[in-house]
Amino acid sequence: MAAGFKLAESLNDWEEAQQSYAAGKEYVECGRTTSGLLHLEDAAALDPWCEVQLALLYQYQLHDTESCRNHLRHAAEQGYRPAEEILRRIEAGQSAYILGNLSSLVYHAGRVFADEVEDEVGPLIPAPYDGIDSKIRREQWAKDHGVNPTMG
């Protein structure tokens, strides 16, 4: 994945963030902004991409530039580089709308790619084997999945 496109810490966090984000977005679109913001804040706490989306909502729909900047700064402090660039543009009085959409495209493309790789070869780092020597981890993974490792 491209440098700076940080994802949620775990798959569970990512799934929870996406559920909260979807619910929040739905509430906002239905005119229930207060309820929507609660869900979006929950999502932002789990995933920096969601925090950038919340920041852009503050900027372009709620016209609250200060809240927008605060969320972008927080996402940038977590190492999410698109937040840095979006913040720079907003502080320069430029539109960050297209850049925000572009970062969303790359974010979701990265998730699709990660899912496709896992579908093809299995988990990139099988969680039960963290901290185990890589050779032992490969052997255990092969055993767990009924694969007979062969030397070529």
pLDDT at 18: 86
106 pLDDT band, cuts 50/70/90, is: low
60 vs 72: CA distance, rounded Å: 14
> What does the DSSP 8-state code read for residue 131?
T
What lies within 8 Å, CB to CB, of 75 at 6+ separation is 44, 48, 51, 52, 55, 83
Mean pLDDT, residues 123-127: 48
Mean pLDDT, residues 61-70: 94
pLDDT > 90: percent of the chain: 30
Better-predicted residue by pLDDT, 123 or 28: 28
pTM: 0.63
Domains in the chain: boundaries? 11-144
Mean pLDDT, residues 125-146: 58
68 vs 57: CA distance, rounded Å: 8
- Class in CATH terms, 11-144: mainly alpha
Tell me: pLDDT of 135 over 70.
no
First vs last C-alpha separation in the chain: 30
